[in-house]
Amino acid sequence: MKNMEIIHLTWNEHEWNEDEILNNFNSNEDYGIYQIYGDHPVYGDNTLLYIGKAQDQRYSTRLKQHLDGDFLYTHISTFRKIHLSYICVTEDVDKNKWKNYIGLVEKLLINAHFPAYNSQDIKNIIKKNEFKNNVLVLNWDYRGKLLPEVSSLRYSDYYWNKRNLNTEKIFKDE
């Protein structure tokens, strides 16, 4: 398969603690994808509630917005844990590519996992032209309930379009 980009995410788990959120996660490396876990009235305890991104701001700034925003009055008391990711790369990646990775990975993970409080990108087939290359995300360490591997190949409109499938080729040996 040509043009496959592999993105490795290493995950850390933290208890949901407002003081820790406000006072930590401020370094130059504190950007990426995060997951929020907690209790949900329908889905139960320890549910993946939300997947978000800290793309143009550090984790501390982005997570503070959850404390100040809509979640404060409706859902914040149910938050129990947070998982923060860090993109592992084997080459130097410029800032624009890094930001692009964060945006692509967030969209792909939301689409694959249907978090309870995300409304954007759920059940939204990803258009092939949204990904310059096919993307494979590998989740490592404390990944929570995320799948270990998520690929844009599964969620792209390319394979949902029957014109692109040649079943005669697939089953030619039968």
Residue 170 CA to residue 93 CA, distance in Å, equals 37
Tokens, residue 103: 């945006």
Q: Which own/partner pairs from 161-166 qualify as long-range (CB within 8 Å, at least 24 positions apart)?
A: none
Residue 55 has pLDDT above 80, yes or no: yes
Domain range enclosing 34:
4-170
Calpha distance 8→54 (Å, rounded): 17
Lowest mean pLDDT among 5-9, 43-47, 59-63, 68-72: 68-72
Q: What pLDDT is attached to residue 14?
A: 93
> What is the model's pTM?
0.83
Over the stretch 25-54, which tens digit does the pLDDT of each residue have? 988 888 999 999 998 888 899 999 999 999
Q: What is the mean pLDDT of residues 11-37?
A: 89
Highest average pLDDT, of 43-47, 77-81, 150-154, 167-171, comes from 43-47
Q: Is residue 163 pLDDT above 70, yes or no?
A: no
Number of domains in the chain: 1
